[in-house]
Amino acid sequence: DAGITQSPRHKVTETGTPVTLRCHQTENHRYMYWYRQDPGHGLRLIHYSYGVKDTDKGEVSDGYSVSRSKTEDFLLTLESATSSQTSVYFCAISESPDRSGGQLFFGEGSRLTVL
């Protein structure tokens, strides 16, 4: 299994509070991603990173920010959580799409509930 650790694995918070999810990898892969998974919507890309300090938006980036100060860590922040952000969040990594064919390795997910 790819060395990907997400923390926390479960979190319950209240509307309006800030939340940070952490993804840590030990594979030294260049690309890192945050997806959210919701029933009926599948997996949707929030943000991704293609290197240290290099990030870009995905299809559902509103209300989320990310940071990557080290190769191994990719943080997802909800500045002011809303109930619509209740979801399961998955971090994924990829070595190099050209070499690996685009294979993503996923973490085990972080379940966030916003009350």
Q: Is 109 in the site for other proteins (CB under 8 A)?
A: yes
Stretch that binds other proteins, among 19-27, 62-70, 73-81, 98-106 (CB under 8 A): 98-106
Question: H or E segment at 12?
Answer: strand 10-13
Nearer to other proteins by Cβ, of 42 and 53: the residue is 42
Q: Is 24 in the site for other proteins (CB under 8 A)?
A: no
Q: Is 44 in the site for other proteins (CB under 8 A)?
A: yes
Q: Is 74 in the site for other proteins (CB under 8 A)?
A: no
Q: Is 86 in the site for other proteins (CB under 8 A)?
A: no
Contact 21, 112 (CB under 8 A): yes
Residue 89, CA distances (Å) to 23, 44, 54, 66, 100 in order: 10, 10, 20, 13, 23
Q: Is 21 in the site for other proteins (CB under 8 A)?
A: no
Show the tokens assigned to 64: 């989320």
Distant-in-sequence, close-in-space partners of 2: CB < 8 Å, separation ≥ 6 = 25, 27, 93, 105
- Give the distance, in angstroms, between the CA of residue 83 and the centroid of all CA atoms in the same chain: 18
Q: Is 107 in the site for other proteins (CB under 8 A)?
A: yes
* Residues contributing to the site for other proteins (CB under 8 A): 4, 31, 33, 35, 40-45, 48, 50, 58, 90, 92, 94, 97-98, 101-109
